[in-house]
A and B are shown apart, each in its own frame.
Chain A
Amino acid sequence: MTLRAGINDIASQLGVSVDGQFDFTVRASVADETLDKLAMLINFVIEAARRALSELKDRNARLAELDHMKSVFLANITHELRTPLALILGPTEKWLSSGDLTEEQHRDLDVVMRNARSLLKTVNDLLDVSKLEAGKLSPEYSRVDLSKVVRLTCSLFEGIARERNVDYTVRVPDALVAEIDPEMIQRVLLNLLSNAFKFGALGGKIACVLETVGNNALLQVQDKGPGIPIEMRERIFEPFIQVESEVTRRHGGTGLGLAIVKEFVELHRGSIQETTPVGGGALFTVTLPLKARTDVAVRSALSQDFGQTGLSSALLEELKVPKRRAQAARAANMERGTILVVEDNPDMNQFIVETLCDEYDVISAFDGEEGLEKTLEQKPDLVLSDIMMPKVGGEEMVLAIRRRPELSGIGIILLTAKADEEVRVRLLRAGAQDFVTKPFLREEVKARVRNIMSGKRTRDLLKRELQSSQEDLEELAQEVSLRRHDLEKSVEEARAARDEVQRLLQLRDEFISIAGHELKTPLTPLCLQRHMIQKIMQSTDLPTDVKEQKLEGYLEMSKRQIDTLTKLVEALLDVSQIRLGRFCVKPETNVDLFNLVREVVERYRPQWEMAHSPVNIELLGESPKGQWDSLRMEQVISNLLTNAIKYGRGKPIELTVSSDRSGARISVRDFGSGISAADQARIFNRFERAGSMSSFGGLGLGLYITRQIVAAHAGTIGIESEVGKGATFTIDLPLQHVS
């Protein structure tokens, strides 16, 4: 056998699998290792499929078992619920018809009645579903006038149509005999009409049409509501499936209505389908055979009444536009606190309002959108809200509230009928403070609200206190800020003053040191000279003429030292006078400036000659004669000249005097090291000097005194200098003395 034949043989063996059975293995009919390997791996895949199928079967069996258990449980529980419900409805109905009730009692019992009926409808739906699933429900056929069934059932909705301003049309033949279970078909129509009114818009159109097509009755219910999305068309007939979102659905219900409709129709061997009519909305078309199967019994019940039943009452009650009763009035006392109740069920809303209005001001909203609007508008202390509501659900509303910082202090309690832990945790994380599970006791709601309100009040109080403290603090901070500014300024000034004081102290210390040194300098030779004079005087060896000659020399030297000392002391005295404001000049008339300059220059000849700094005097024009203190002017020229000698050693000095009608100008120029711009600004201050003390000596008072003398003559003194190129001091003096 060839390899091809071997593969073909394996393929043939695999053909068995078309039946979905995998309980086989394949074997290579040719002894070939490659074929063996192929067979082995195919067997492995088959084994995997076999195992998966087996697991699936086991799981399905388990699911079927669970489904059966659920159906049995549902049937049992609904039966159990019907008994207490009957015992609620019966006595309540009796009391309501007695006429012995107060208005409030009547209103409360009406709420009980309405909600008990609604509950009964839900229980009945569940019971029907469980029976249908268990295959325990079959039609009880009667020969009836289907037109009458439809007409009477449709008439039940006329009031609702008027209330909602709906264009409601019913078109049925005068009579149409059909073999049906009239209760089931009435139920079918009730559910379809109920849906049409639920989802059809206010002021819209609803039509119900019955006609005969061949051997079938065609029953159509059409509305102009939002319609059914295409993807939901098949699914809406499955139990528990609803078109609207779980948390934002506008209408209540269990999602069983259309499932029951479909089952009831199919039990009649009929069919139902949903289509979108031209112009939008939903169109449900039910096709029912007019004749029952020949093997079933058909009763004659042409006279049967198809009016209002408990079920239709409950359905109609659900459709009524919710009555929003007046909410509890807000008291003026703000200490009570305000609670916003957001609940779409008007009865529940009213019940909660009445539960809380003794202790708080309560306002109502009936969906999440209105709840958010009122929260923004009224800023309540607490929002007590349902989760499943039309338009905007409770969850979305909570998130919207928590997104707004201005609503951050508002407490939130959520009401839920669902034991959905995941939603609870999510909403608690999103900012809800607490939950109340329906059904609840009045006292439970009160206690939970009280807890939150108490916490809120405490927080508000603390917040107010904190705010007040904060305002004080802010004020204080502002004051501190202002003071701080002043303080900083003062500190800055003080710091500058301190620096100045330190600088002056340093200058003073330097000055004391300099003054000591300057005073000591002439004293040392003076002492020596005194000792020498004494020695010469006591000497007996020396001839008298030699003695006199030597004495004369030493006396001359002593005189120079004394002059120096005198000048130093005079400078100190001048400074002292200036500081005390007692410095003054004594102007004389016709002081000849040329003479004055020549005398001073001559007087200092030994010094400038010793310094190798020849002084070139340039006296321009006629000698100015003015009203000056000649001694002080001598002092000025001396100071400038000795400075030039001191700083321009080895280089010539130029001294120029000129005049015009208004005044005279003296300028002294040296070619020394010059003075930097920074030093120029300070050298006229006390104790300042251009060069270092160690290099040039002096008290640092000369220029200071010079400027004071010039100023006292109403003159000015200026300096022009460049480092390395010498300095020129220029004095301008008026000729006339100005006091």
Chain B
Amino acid sequence: MIGLIQKILLDLVEEQAGPEAVKDVKRAAGVPLDRIFRIGEVYSDAEWQNLFSAACRVLGPDEDRVMELYADAFGRDALVRFSKWFEMSANSREFLERQITIHNVFASGVVDPNSRKAVVDKFQIETFDDKIVTHYRSPNKLCSLYKALARWMFTHYEDDAVIDETKCMHRGDEECEIHVIWKNLRRSSETDRAATSRAER
């Protein structure tokens, strides 16, 4: 798991419960207190699971609610840190279509080729006229994070879409199959281009 994930989780804990809570979470997860998670470095998956469980105890008992809070924190952080990707995407669909490549950017710092390939192979995507289908395979089973992040994108871009997870590793499937179906996209690249063209004239 790349350090950006842990970093945002700990920032969220600090935002919601203060710096002492961060120490508690680290302590509960067995993470050294002086550890600073670097965004491009890879850390233990087990350590992440421990950190997330500890964070849930601090942030509230409802794991789904914590995931929503986390997705919101992640979205806000990404919006500042990687604003270009948001500029490049006119709507949530375009962003989610880029999601695999973005995920691979995070994995590109992994030195070991096999480990790198394992990260890269986590996601596969199929695109259709009205939806995309994401196939997700990871021992971390973070499909709920993917869905929470997707919903954050819908809200951010003000798009009307629904999510249907037809397969899930939590239910014993070998992969998660997440259908994201759009009913309405507020903006498109074409309308943006047209608007730019009009403005230029």
Residues of A participating in the B interface, judged by any CB pair closer than 8 Å:
23, 25, 27-28, 31, 33, 36-37, 39-41, 43-44, 46-47
Contact = CB atoms under 8 A, between A and B. Distances in A.
A36 B38 CA distance: 7
Interface string B98-112: 000000111011110
Contact of B40 (A23, A43, A46, A47): A43
Given A25-B109, A43-B105, A47-B116, 20 more contacts: A23-B113, A25-B110, A27-B41, A27-B109, A33-B81, A36-B38, A36-B39, A36-B40, A36-B41, A37-B40, A37-B82, A39-B40, A39-B109, A40-B39, A40-B40, A40-B105, A40-B109, A41-B105, A43-B40, A47-B104
Given A33-B39, A36-B39, A46 B81 contact: no
Contacts of B41: 27, 36
Of all A-B residue pairs in the complex, the 5 with the closest CB atoms, nearest first, are A43-B108, A40-B40, A44-B108, A44-B105, A47-B108
Contacts, number: 42
A25 B119 CA distance: 15
Interface in B32-89: 36, 38-41, 81-82
A-side binding surface: helix, strand, loop or mixed? helix
Contacts of A44: 104-105, 108
Contacts of B111: 25
Nearest to B112: A25
B108 A37 contact: no
Contacts of A47: 104, 108, 116
Interface in B103-149: 104-106, 108-111, 113, 116
Q: Choose among B106, B109, B113 the residue with the greatest number of A CB atoms under 10 Å from its CB.
A: B109
Given A25-B111, A43-B109, A44-B108, A31 B36 contact: yes
A43 B41 CA distance: 11
Q: How large is the interface on B (under 10, 10 to 19, 20 to 34, 35 or more residues)?
A: 10 to 19
Interface in B151-192: none
B139 to A, nearest CB: 22
Contacts of A28: 38, 40
B109 A31 contact: no
A550 B41 CA distance: 151
Interface of B: 36, 38-41, 81-82, 104-106, 108-111, 113, 116
24 contacts: A25-B108, A25-B109, A25-B111, A27-B41, A27-B109, A28-B40, A31-B38, A33-B39, A36-B39, A36-B40, A37-B40, A39-B109, A40-B39, A40-B40, A40-B105, A40-B108, A40-B109, A41-B105, A43-B40, A43-B105, A44-B108, A47-B104, A47-B108, A47-B116
A333 B198 CA distance: 74
Contacts of A40: 39-40, 105-106, 108-109
Contact of A37 (B39, B104, B110, B113): B39
Contacts of A23: 113
Nearest to A48: B108
Nearest to B101: A44
Contacts of A25: 108-111
A46 B38 CA distance: 20
Nearest to A45: B108
B111 to A, nearest CB: 5
A46 B39 contact: no
Contacts of A27: 40-41, 109
Given A31-B36, A31-B38, A44-B104, A37 B109 contact: no
A6 to B, nearest CB: 12
Nearest to B81: A37
Contacts of B81: 33, 37
Contacts of A43: 40, 105, 108-109
